[in-house]
């Protein structure tokens, strides 16, 4: 239910928005797929405390929890969710500026309409204009293109950081066999195990594969957009001059 609730505003934003730009549907599609992947991946980690078993002489529940806190000393699910919020924030930044640009274009067109003495139809005309889709052309909107490339770079950095977290922080937590534990308050050594490690590693592989795909898409799409809208357009201008 929480996943469905999270999908609704994303799909509504993608379908009902009146401003479009290159790759917009693709990025929102990735946001939906990423949310579903998070939901599936969090299932094996939902009872992490119960999946951590320890044995040994003088083992108590307090010592088990102490070993658990010592071993899982980095956040897992909350870090995944934070990285997803970071990804959504990069989408919302672009949506914010495109919405403002659409508002400016509407005001400029309205002023042009009024300057031609068509004020009697202003109300009806502005309503019709607001209902029309605005497709942004990066060939003419250079500042918006730079912002767009900045958002793509922001996503690329976020995905690379997320991959580092998955491979270097989280994967080692469930890749060990038996875990030897001894804390200051509990003299051991105790032998601990994480139950269902294969399922937990599989969830990390799923998120890592999706993050790798997103990083490659960001890299290719950013390079293509930069070459197509900046370099080629500049060469066309030089040729026409």
Per-residue model confidence as pLDDT tens digits over 102-129? 766 667 666 766 666 555 444 444 444 4
Three-class DSSP category at 199? helix
Tokens 């930069």 belong to which residue?
226
The reported pLDDT for the residue numbered 5 is 59
pLDDT, average across residues 64-71: 90
On average, the pLDDT of the chain sits at: 79
pLDDT at position 190, please? 86
Is residue 148 situated within a structural domain? yes
pLDDT digits (tens, 9 = 90+) for 146-190: 888 888 999 999 999 999 999 999 999 998 778 888 888 787 788
Model pTM?
0.79
Q: Is residue 85 situated within a structural domain?
A: yes
- For the chain, give the percent of residues with pLDDT over 70: 68
Q: What is the pLDDT of residue 128?
A: 47
Q: Which residue has the higher pLDDT, 105 or 217?
A: 217
Please report whether residue 220 resides in a domain: yes
Answer whether 76's CB lies under 8 Å from 48's CB.
yes
Question: Are 57 and 182 in contact, with CB atoms under 8 Å apart?
Answer: no
What is residue 25's predicted lDDT score, i.e. its pLDDT?
81
- Above 70 in pLDDT, residue 74? yes
**Domain ranges, residue 225:** 2-48+76-98+132-164+198-236
How many domains does the structure of the chain reveal?
1
User: pLDDT tens for residues 9-62?
Assistant: 655 655 555 556 677 888 888 998 999 999 999 999 999 999 999 887 778 888
Please tell me the distance from the alpha carbon of residue 80 to that of residue 87, in angstroms, as a whole number: 11
Closest CA to 203 of 53, 39, 48, 87: 39
Residue located via tokens 């997320």: 162
Angle between helix axes 197-226 and 142-164 (nearest 10 degrees) is 160
The size of the chain, in residues, is 241
Give the Cβ contact number of residue 191 at 10 Å.
Answer: 15
221 against 122, higher pLDDT: 221
Residue 143 forms part of a structural domain: yes
In this prediction, residues 193-207 reach a mean pLDDT of: 94
Q: Is residue 154 part of a domain?
A: yes
């Amino acid at each position: 239910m929480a996943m469905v609730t999270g999908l609704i505003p994303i799909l509504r934003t993608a379908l009902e928005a009146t401003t479009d730009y290159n790759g917009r549907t693709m990025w929102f599609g990735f946001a939906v797929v990423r949310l579903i992947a998070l939901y599936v991946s969090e299932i094996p980690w939902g009872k992490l405390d119960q999946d951590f078993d320890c044995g040994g002489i003088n083992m108590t529940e307090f010592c088990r929890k102490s070993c658990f806190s010592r071993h899982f000393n980095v956040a897992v699910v909350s870090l995944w969710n934070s990285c997803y919020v970071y990804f959504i924030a990069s989408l919302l930044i672009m949506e914010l500026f495109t919405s403002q640009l659409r508002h400016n274009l509407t005001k400029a067109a309205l002023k042009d309409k009024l300057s031609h003495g068509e004020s009697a139809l202003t109300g009806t005309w502005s309503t019709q204009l607001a209902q029309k889709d605005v497709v942004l052309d990066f060939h003419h909107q250079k500042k918006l293109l730079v912002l767009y490339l900045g958002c793509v770079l922001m996503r690329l950095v976020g995905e690379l950081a997320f991959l580092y977290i998955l491979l270097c922080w989280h994967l080692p937590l469930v890749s060990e066999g038996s875990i030897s534990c001894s804390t200051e308050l509990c003299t051991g050594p105790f032998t601990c195990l994480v139950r269902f490690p294969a399922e937990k590693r599989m969830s990390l592989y799923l998120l890592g594969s999706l993050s790798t795909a997103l990083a490659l898409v960001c890299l290719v799409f950013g390079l293509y957009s930069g070459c197509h809208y900046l370099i080629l357009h500049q060469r066309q201008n030089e040729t026409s001059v």
